[in-house]
Structure 1
Amino acid sequence: MTSIARMKQVVISAAALTLASVAPATFAQTVATAPATPSTSQALEGLDAYIEAARQTWQVPGAAVAIVKDDKIVYAKGFGVREEGKPAKVDLDTVFAIGSATKAFTAAALGMLVDEKKIAWDGVVHDYMPSFEMNDPYITSHATVRDLLSHRTGVVTNGNLWYGSGFDRKEIIRRMRFQTESLGFRNQFQYQNEMFIVAGEVVSSVAGTSYDKFIASRIFEPLGMHRSYTSVTELKGLANVATPHVRIDGKMVPIDYRLIDNVGGAGVINSDARDMAQWVRLQLGDGKFEGKQLLAPATLAEMHTGQIVPRGTPSKTFKFTEYGLAWGIQEYRGRKIVQHSGAIDGMQSMVTMLPEKKLGVVVLSNSQPNMLGMAVALRVLDAFIGGPVTDHSAVLKKVSDDAARIAREKAPSPPATPSPPSLPLDRYVGTYSSALLGDVSITLEDGKLLLARPAASATLDQNDKDKFKARWKSPGQASIFGQTPANFTLDPTGQITALELGGDKFTRK
């Protein structure tokens, strides 16, 4: 992984990828020694106070939480405000961006087409959408719908292909053929937003309508999700919408919504807690909602079944982790949970389900980054399981703070006496191009180099000689990526030949 966008996948991310199976003996031992299951009223005791305290711990301006148990919404409440410094409160109808929680909607849409026998999980993507073409012809001819939805194509992700690129979905898919980096087809897990853009466009190609219209008519409408949308443009003029926030100098600062229509099936949905609770009811109801079968039980079960095991350091919280079809699956206290998180500039979401208990939790919040969703979900799971009382918010906050401290300590210090640029600044001005990522323009204004992509811009601060740092002008982008290395390459004659931006190389035109 080379680019900053690949190293920091908080954007539209699955911060908590989830599940693996546990040996039957482990389940049996756990269940045998578990305390008596609390009643719903007992499980909900003290939850208001816990959520409010956790919200303040994570400095989240506002959050909405819904809990589904046995096909009923048993808890639904808003906390805090829609925008820092303003009085309007968050409630169940407050709309938030849900980021990567969108991915499961994409998988469900494809599942409906599986039920109609228009596609198959193991059908070849290129057969359904001939415009799908990867750099490796083997992947082009063998990648399946299942591969797209389980992050196992091996194609290395590059968020810069959609984030700030200005490319639409079709152009993103066309340019994916220029991504030469690979982890090996079906060799290992590689979280991949771009493949979910492809997945959404497979829906469009096969169904003969846009991805957005399919989601609206086949999922939002039958579930009664009347405040759910697939574009931030639909939020203009809408009442009761949460404002995104990022932390700047220790304070939560409101920012604008990022237009991410081009990310399609990977993360375009905006919704509220009431609507998301209906979505959870469908997931926990074997694909049936209020008497109507929207997804075949076997199709839904396949989505909740692990397809690949992500590599990485084992979690102390989750003993086993797999990734299904747009859902993470994990073991928690001897039980299978199904969940997915999401994040985009200033917004985060978490959807967590315990199928055995017909229990689901939705947490939507209007700041990023934070781990409020995970803290609340674990608190709810513990309460309904009858597990030991744990302040998950405090535990996760310490983990987060420790990680931030270690990152600061490891960050390289700038040179004590940096060398000046090799050339006058006006010699760096020009256009730099990548077949994968398009053009980057460098201009000079008031003695500073400025960098621009179609939907992102930055000031270049000189670090040492021909090495600069891109300071992004968008607060959301700055919060996610920090300062991105921007290094110029000179040939032996002193001519600038290339720009390397966060590990991505752009050749000078």
Structure 2
Amino acid sequence: MKHIKICILLLVSVNLFAQEINIKKSLSGFDNYMSQILADWNEPGAGVAIIHKGELVFVKGYGYRDYGNKLPVTKNTLFQIASNTKLFTAVAAGMLVEDGIFKWDEPFKESVPEIEFFNDFLNNNVTLRDMLGHKTGISRHDYIWFQSDFTRKELFERIKYLEPSIPLRQDFIYNNLMYSAVGYAIELRTGKTWEEYISENILSPLEMENTIFSIAEMQKSKDYGVPYDEKRDTTLLYKIPLKEDGAGIGPAGSIITSLDDLSHWVIALMNEGKYKNKEIIPNAIIKETLKPGIAFRNSELEDKGYDERLNSTYGMARNIEIYKGNVLTKHGGAMPGFHSQVIILPYNDIGIITFSIGNQGASLGNTIIGYNLVDRLLGLEQTDWNGRKLADHIKSKELSKNARSQHGFDHIEGTTPSHKLEDYTGSFTNEAYGEFIISHEKDSLYFNFRRVSLPLSHYHYNRFDTPDDEDFGKWSINFNISPQGEINEAVVSIDEGQVSFHKKPDESLADPNVLKQYEGKYNFAGSEFEIKLIDGKLTALGTTNDILIPYKKQIFKVEKFDDMQVEFIMKNNIVSGLKYKTPSGVFECKKVQ
């Protein structure tokens, strides 16, 4: 029994303590492997960095950072690392925890009273750890920020409109907006923007001198990645626009860096927060990011019989799993044309950074290259990650092509729109998602949403569809009619559900000075009631305090009853009374004060 215990201890020690790695031997044949997978996936380029025992021991580019001009990937090529930004935000928030400004596990609203969630339950319970661990139960709602010009403050203020999809802490729902909110909270409490705080407290101390936050800054460099994609259903590569989703969402994904610069960050994460013998990140913060929050099922084992990756959990901006008996932490990042992965094996003292260019080869940067390197560096049998993922990719492309060929399955022939095309035009708004515009040009309607502008064709009844655009996708707009027979709403499937956009009323009714003139007391058959401007909304005070919704000049709808209206009567540019219009009649009231 004693000998068995000793053997077990020896086996455990092999896994727990870093061993010397012969990089040259471990990477024998790796260059050929990279050439093969770039060819298999039709990928323009990729980059790899390996950190071991506090040092960058290998860094190399493969293929092209600019495929069109045949410019090579280098250790200094700038890449958008997208969601690998999130750990920077989690660490920055942790620094404020260390300062006593934030707390991991108490209601975030106690530290940041300015934040408003959908209801009081969330206000009283959502913690910083919930927000950074994707445990709020609030769906992604990515189209709130995607390609928008919303500021970080505006995104922060939209959180109150997001109803949870599932109860708090019940399951994992990835949410970029929570990271944006934490970034703005850092600004609220420190007086420094997220970018300033990150630069001052992380980037500068880590000597990440070439790490930046915007496409404009990136394009000033002579060495940056150019995104490419495949034309759908072909292998033709084409250059796609650099995508930047504005500073608003920055804390969730705006960092742009190189293999060399990012290695400094990984060195610190692997070395208890120290870089060049100086503590940059308190080790307590790093440990907190690795605490398991939400566990995932072993889907690869259950669905396909693959047992390499087991018992995956999510901490804060970090996945933790057991890979072939070794503790592995990781996180991926994806932007159009760019993919990245940061892997750390803390008990083996190994860090791996992978970048790749090309949407079709997302699996290269997110899985294939990184796990192949883990196998090589640990001397393990190499799993054919490339073969597995490539087979899935080919099958997915074929299934997607087949699915698109079956569009229009619910089309009803012989129908016509209920209104003239001009009646569908106007601005349609939603409190969370903002505004889109339906315009009428050359006998056709156009859908204009942020950077998307696509023609609409009549599908059936009051539904209009855009083409299935390769870059912007397919949009289907279903228009609804008010009790007054007017187009008053457009329903669009966005993100996780249907979103209603209401036709924007006359612009003048957003002016508080215009609304103010309608305030006062009104009389009907000897009974008085008052209309008052409360929180920017006209309100008829009474038992229920009915809110009046702007509709047309001098006309408002009653919020609770779409078939009821209030029209104010003007005499000599002064309000003299109102008409309360209902299905049963029109009731006139005089203004008495």
Under TM normalisation by the shorter chain, which class is it?
0.7 to 0.9
1:389 aligned counterpart, secondary structure: coil
| Distance in 1 separating the partners of 2:190 and 2:13 | 45
Tell which deviates more after alignment, 262-271 or 175-184.
Answer: 175-184
Give the stretch that moved more between structures: 435-444 or 49-58.
Answer: 49-58
Partner of 1:236 in structure 2? 219
Out of 162, 166, 171, which is 1:188 matched to? 171
Residue of structure 1 aligned with 2:408, choices 409, 414, 419: 414
Contact 2:203 2:211 in 1 (8 A): yes
CA contact (8 A) 1:284 1:358 kept: yes
Q: What letter matches 1:381 in structure 2?
A: V
Alignment of 1:114 with 2:105, yes or no, is no
- Residues 1:256 and 2:241 aligned together: yes
Are 2:65 and 1:82 aligned?
A: yes
Question: In the TM superposition, what is the alpha-carbon distance from 1:243 to its structure 2 partner?
Answer: 1.2
**1:430 maps onto 2:426 in alignment:** yes
In the other structure, the counterpart of 2:586 is none
Is 1:383–2:376 an aligned residue pair? yes
- Change beyond 3 A, Cα 1:420–1:493: farther
Partner Cα separation in structure 2 for residue 122 and residue 64 of structure 1:
38
Partner residue of 1:507?
Answer: 502
* Cα offsets for 1:216-268 (capped at 9, x unmatched): 12111111111111222222322111112232233222122223221121001
Which residue is 1:467 aligned to?
463
The aligned counterpart of 2:107 is 124
Counterparts of 1:157 and 1:292, CA distance in 2: 38
Q: Which residue of 2 aligns with 1:309?
A: 295
Pair 29,295 (structure 1): closer, same or farther in 2 beyond 3 Å: closer
Shifted more, 157-166 versus 248-257: the winner is 248-257
Checking the alignment, whether the CA contact within 8 Å between 2:272 and 2:282 is kept in structure 1 is yes
The higher relative CO (CA closer than 8 Å, separation ≥ 6) is in 1
Aligned to 1:10: none
Correspondences of 1:363-378 after superposition (within 5 Å):
363-369=354-360, 370-373=362-365, 374-378=367-371
Structure 2 distance, partners of 1:421, 1:440, is: 24
**Bigger radius of gyration, 1 or 2?**
2
- Unaligned runs of at least 5 residues, structure 2: 1-7, 505-593
- Describe the superposition over 1:105-156 as per-residue Cα deviations: whole angstroms up to 9, x where unpaired: 1011112222333322124322332221011211122211111110001122
Retained in 2: the 8 A contact 1:243–1:257? yes
Gaps in structure 1 of 5+ consecutive residues? 1-24
Distance 1:181 1:228 in 2: 35
Q: Which structure has the highest strand share of the two?
A: 2
Q: 1:330 to 1:462 in 2, by over 3 A?
A: farther
CA distance, structure 1, for counterparts of residue 85 and residue 149 of structure 2: 21
Secondary structure at the aligned position of 1:198 is classed as helix
* Counterpart in the other structure of 1:284: 270
- The one-letter code matched in structure 2 to 1:147 is D
Which residue identity lines up with residue 375 of structure 1 in the other structure? Answer: I
Aligned pairs (5 A) from 1:48-447: 48-249=31-232, 250=234, 251-260=236-245, 261-310=247-296, 313-314=299-300, 316=306, 317-369=308-360, 370-373=362-365, 374-410=367-403, 412-415=406-409, 418-423=413-418, 424-447=420-443
CA distance in 2, matches of 1:31, 1:458: 59
Q: Residue 179 of structure 2 aligns to which amino acid in structure 1? A: F
Question: Offset at 1:93?
Answer: 0.7
The separation in 1 between residues aligned to 2:133 and 2:260, in whole angstroms, is 28
Q: What letter is aligned with 2:500? A: K
Question: Residues 69 and 459 of structure 1: is their aligned pair in 2 closer, same or farther, counting only changes over 3 Å?
Answer: farther
For residues 484 and 270 of structure 1, do their structure 2 counterparts lie closer, same or farther at Cα, with a shift above 3 Å needed?
Answer: same
275 and 489 in structure 1: CA distance in 2 versus 1, 3 angstrom threshold: same
1:483 counterpart (474, 478, 492): 474
Shift in Å, 1:455: 4.0
Q: Quick one: distance in 2 between partners of 1:430 and 1:504?
A: 17
State how 1:22-61 maps to structure 2 within 5 Å: 39-61=22-44
- Looking at structure 2, the residues matched to 404 and 494 of structure 1 have their Cα atoms a distance apart, in angstroms, of 44
Count of residue pairs brought into register by the alignment: 477
Point out the more displaced range, 411-420 or 395-404: 411-420
- Alpha-carbon distance between aligned partners in 2 of 1:110 and 1:314, rounded to the nearest angstrom: 33
| Cα RMSD, aligned residues only | 2.6
Judged with a 3 Å threshold, the aligned counterparts in structure 2 of structure 1 residues 334 and 87 are, in CA distance, closer, same or farther, namely same
- Per-residue CA distance 1:317-371 (angstroms, 9 max, x = gap): 5222111111111121111111111112221111111111111111112222421
Change (3 A) 1:505 1:92: same
Counterpart Cα distance in 2 of 1:487 and 1:37: 63
